[in-house]
Structure 1
Amino acid sequence: MERKIKKILVVCDSSDSLLDFRGKLIEALLIRNEVIVFSPKIGRQEIRAQLLYMGVQLRENNLKPSHVAVFSDIRYLCALYRVIKEVQPDVFFPYAFKPVIYGTLVAKFCRVRRITPMLTGLGYNFSDVNQRKGLVSMITRMLLKFSLRADPGLRIIFQNKDDRKKLITRGIIGPRHQSYVVNGSGVDLSHYHYTPPRTTPLSFLMISRLINAKGIREFYEAAKLMRQRYPEIRFKLIGPFDPNIDAIGPELYEKISSGEVIEYYGSVSDVRPFLANASIVVLPSYYGEGVPRSLLEAMAMGRGIITSNSVGCKETVNPVAVNGLLVPVKDVSALVSSMEYFCKHTTDVVQFGLNGRKFAKEKFEISLINERMLHILQEA
């Protein structure tokens, strides 16, 4: 008997990364299902056109994921209710904090049979580094616990085992919950081709939104010290300024934008040319990542990495066939030492990159991730 076509409602907090992060998964789901995406306004017409070409049904909203706004969030809750009642999905798949919290609550209220929220990192609200104990973080944790109450149709997806352990430790979820761990969002190795890294001159690239917890200041300070010792080395930064509660201050933004220490390129639509021209990719994040996509893209293209020994980030460094160096969070001197290592061991720039490509193929290749995701989303 042919399997019944299901309606799968995907809810996200950003349309810009929808195709990059979930495009291949949506393609796989569309083979035997209807897929409806509920997204913030799609500003880039190439994304809208591609989704429609794939056969995705689009619904849009006015969600502002990085803003704390009670009335805006209430409107979003109402919009979620309307779209769930209209679509009547068999599977509800929200990811990122606001869609997970609000979407899971509304989907339960509407008696959706299969609810599969995915937490793509825990961000600030459970961070041991930031210790954000404000009212917003407290409310977020309470709402998350309430929305994720055990339910026969609920399956929670994490992108690293530490996030699941933390929610169990904090009493957010317990033994009755069905929970799964996948290795991040994955990376398409057919899209990110290997290219040999340049070793003369060395260049260090960071790809990130301009928020403090991503380690922007640490990268800038390390670059400033390194330029004093190795003036020929180049430091590059890609990423949009994010009007987030943790956005970098105007003074640091001005220093970065001046171009005296770092070459800042803002937001770009395709990171591959920048990765091809980079020697090493750096992400000194303490944000509370799932598994950082920028590091997976770097590994896929054969770039060694320097990243923090923190949740999510440490998953990308192979302790056997080493592809990168881990540094303590907020430790500029350790970051400088790791950068200097590659200055003194340029052969490792190439070898670490080769190891990273192999590690990405073994653990993070998109087909492996999507096979696991399809099982979680579709299994009866």
Structure 2
Amino acid sequence: MTMIPDQVQQQGIARGKSLNPPHQQIMKRKILIIADSSGSLIDFRGKLIEALTLNNEVNIFTPKILKDHIRTKLLEWKVIIHENSLNGSNVSIASDIKYILDLYKTIRIVKPDVVFPYAFKPVIYGGLVAAACRVKHITPMLTGLGNTFQDNNAKRIVKALTKNLLKLTLTSRKGLKIIFHNDDDRKTLIQNKIISQKSRTFVVSGSGVDLEHYSYSSPPDTKTLTFLMIARLINAKGVREFYQAALILGEKYPAVRFQLAGPYDDNVDAIDQDLYDKIRSGSVLNYLGEVDDIRSLIRESSIVVLPSYREGLPRCMLEAMAMGRGIITTDSVGCKETISTSENYPNGFLVPVKDVCALVSKMEYFINNRPEVLRFGENGRRYAVERFDVHKVNRDMLRILEASDSN
């Protein structure tokens, strides 16, 4: 369910004020947020965490914080930090057992009223450990289902194990509420009998986007066209498809630029070494590696591309739209949510998953129709304002997390 706040309530969050009138103040609770990456705390959840600290004591169980600005900001908000050694991308029984024990100890010390895990490992382990510790309110958020529910034969044993653990974690119980970033993921879990129709579920518009931080400060360059992809270098993001499209179009339009930003990490779905070497060579596209602040890259881009196989709701697309850039993505779960259905205000194109020819065709459309780059970008900003404003999304999240019922 999506609940749209009125303008006054939005302004209340933006100014750091309580959303609740004095006579309706919520009793201060202990909330334990369980993250799979310290980098996501500020970039993806910063505004939400800040809002939660207004009425609650916020604890965070997170992999080691390696960047000083993240720790500084959390301490500024008086967040209590508990660090662990989780590597969310790896499958390691020994490290997972250690993670579970550390989480158990943390929950026993904190004694949270609400446990809020997001992403796969935190949702599974956080949900199970919190239930074992008899935490009254468990509110897992699935930001996407990854490749666990994709139709391929890769990692069958891991997928089967993940599904069984997910079913055990999300079995309906008193005080359990499940948050999704798109309704297709909710339906997928129902179809796979992991949750039931009676489960308490909510759908929010992703993590939202800070429209002030990602502002439309300059129109896209239509003279020297630049296509940008922002993603980790894993197969499911469609890295190979973007590389192949750049290879085809680069030979036909040598003046057009292609850029790829994102880390190559130790992931079970990481692209193979041969493709990685080709990307790093720079002969087809400009590989920028991991970039801390991608605003300058989006500002320099004309169109942002993400040929992903499946997402919760891709944050890079929201950021591109907020900064006034047209987008090209796939008609897959999560990705399709970023394209406006209004025929009068198109903001981008959808292409079939793994269809390089279709991707080339849509990229070529912008090459041959430069004024459309501006129009689609303006429409993208409009759509981001209407649907993905972080303050609107956080209003929904606060209602879910701070609700006093335990049904």
- TM (normalized to structure 2)? 0.92
- The letter for the 1-side match of 2:208 is G
1:193 correspondence with 2:180: no
1:265 to 288, 293, 304: 288
- The letter for the 2-side match of 1:264 is Y
Quote how far apart the aligned CAs of 1:131 are. 4.5
1:172 to 171, 182, 194: 194
Quote how far apart the aligned CAs of 1:133 are. 5.6
1:20 correspondence with 2:18: no
Write the deviation string for residues 166-208 of structure 1: whole angstroms up to 9, x where unpaired.
Answer: 0000000002310000011100001011020000110000000
Contact 1:156 1:180 in 2 (8 A): yes
Q: Partner of 2:289: helix, strand, or coil?
A: coil
Write the deviation string for residues 78-136 of structure 1: whole angstroms up to 9, x where unpaired.
Answer: 111100010001110000000000100011111111100000000010113x4446101
Quote how far apart the aligned CAs of 1:4 are. 1.6
Q: Partner of 2:131: helix, strand, or coil?
A: helix
Q: How does 1:194-233 map to 2 (within 5 A)?
A: 194=216, 195-233=218-256
- Distance in 1, matches of 2:155 and 2:232, equals 23
Write the deviation string for residues 239-298 of structure 1: whole angstroms up to 9, x where unpaired.
Answer: 000210110111111111111111011001100000000000000000x31100000000
Q: Partner of 2:39: helix, strand, or coil?
A: coil
Q: Which residue of 1 aligns with 2:30?
A: 7
Q: Partner of 1:17: helix, strand, or coil?
A: helix
1:360 correspondence with 2:360: no
Q: Which residue of 2 aligns with 1:255?
A: 278
Quote how far apart the aligned CAs of 1:3 are. 2.9
Contact 1:156 1:178 in 2 (8 A): yes
Contact 1:77 1:106 in 2 (8 A): yes
- Distance in 2, matches of 1:219 and 1:267, equals 17
- The letter for the 2-side match of 1:90 is D
- The letter for the 1-side match of 2:135 is V
1:58 correspondence with 2:81: yes
Q: Which residue of 1 aligns with 2:92?
A: 69
Q: Which residue of 1 aligns with 2:367?
A: 343
Quote how far apart the aligned CAs of 1:345 are. 1.0
2:351 to 321, 327, 341: 327
Quote how far apart the aligned CAs of 1:210 are. 0.3
- Distance in 2, matches of 1:131 and 1:250, equals 21
Quote how far apart the aligned CAs of 1:18 are. 1.2
1:298 to 300, 308, 320: 320
Q: CA RMSD in A?
A: 0.9
- Distance in 2, matches of 1:297 and 1:173, equals 31
In structure 2, stretches of 5+ residues that fail to align are 1-22
Q: Which residue of 2 aligns with 1:114?
A: 137
Contact 1:125 1:132 in 2 (8 A): no
- Counting aligned pairs with the same residue, the percent is 57
